[in-house]
Structure 1
């Protein structure tokens, strides 16, 4: 569990399986255990760098154990059960990700005082050693988060995003920021403060879902982090130091070479690539990067078309939601 004489990290990832839920719109496969395959690749990439093995936190630990046996790993992920406490409609987009709130609370109780919980999404891969000085800075403040405000504001409009944040926060924010859900570094002390604040934001989120443009854990977690920041907590932006990068294959907003310098890479649009890696039996960062580069080059030709289609879908979704709120037929 030790990466440095002074810094201890505990990587965790949530696999919450409910086959009746809406699931993630970014996942094409119907099998819910595709997330386990992604987690296997993530675990192997962590081990290849000499980092601690991944802990999978799940509501179906026995089934995850059975599925893991099919891969015959020498050092498989740890399996820890999670006890869900929140309720929300199963039709909610990114349904399973909401239970990260329960993971945080329960993992925080067993986290050593000198350790940092590293909460990760399963569709990630570790490519480079972690910056120990950056981890020490996160340890000193108690938290490191991934500020992706530039991406969210440009994609959805800053007024729209800030309105969602302030609705869920329950007040006007001095400097609204949006934090990505793929990585959070937090000490036990910070988690103890974050969870009650996040639960309050979650309840406002549930009550405001019909008027929100965004659904998912990032909304109420970002609102809670903003509130704690305004109470005086310093949040280390780990993205600025390239501890993590979110890469959409084909997107031209940032040169692919920038992502090669990231320690951890989030690949929400390349889940199948990570799943195929799990079936290979061994992990090769060089091979994965080559496949990622090829896919990125090909997708650059269709990215503008895909973005146009998504924009139209968002417009129709907003129009229909407004009509429902006004009692008009959709």
Structure 2
């Protein structure tokens, strides 16, 4: 396998779970196409507009702190090789590899659909999470502005919302975020994986550079927007050396909340990540996977509730201790932000708020 410029995955391997067709070498001309024609061009990004019947997804997972979410996009051009959302593309008969970061879906009706849900007589407010599957501020948000439309609706209806991103483009909506923060309706988390821009380009090729994410955290904090840094994911022998530095840089920007998450490799993510390791870090690929398995009960991934978010073993204990010591020294704690659900007011379907 060889790296593809501007992309995280090094292949378009199909999902084995759904029996998607996989082309095998059979001796025809396509087996020698690159020898004759040269390397194939890097895949271009395409966007398909999707028009679902609903946009608010509910979950009953006992180990995550929200029960509803909005995902404005499917797939993510950031191309993070470790992204746990990659397997979702297999449901579209698309590859969790290159297809996930090149064949994107946008939902331009998201805000209108959410308005209908919020207007229902039985609806009860609780924080809506954005960025739980794919990034709400990936590059195509600059064109579609779907995330902004949803935030505008949340401000209009006084509905609490949380955002998770690895893009400094969240600052495009600083006007809305500031107003939501004034009403205790917003919390923002920005994930930072390393402080090395070269490593970042390998891991997450189209995400914002680490320095830009740190600076964005500072801008949010200065504007009074509750913002925390997430050292996520931590990859042993690849990014774990940056843990204390990331916390220190964020604290220097006035950020007081911090979390960390160990890498997770569900379904097709594990073989894609192994390909990435063999391509970029063949000298330590075995060590990385052995360390991950030591924290996941001997497997590439632990899918069980609660333990999937809490790795165990000596390496996990060491990382947990390092994080706690660094956070305590820097005066950082859990990002415990109490959002206000009591201000919610139902919208009317014509866009006018009720007077009652």
Provide the TM-score with structure 1 as the length reference: 0.31
Structure showing greater Rg? 2
Which has a greater percent of helix? 1
Provide the TM-score with structure 2 as the length reference: 0.29
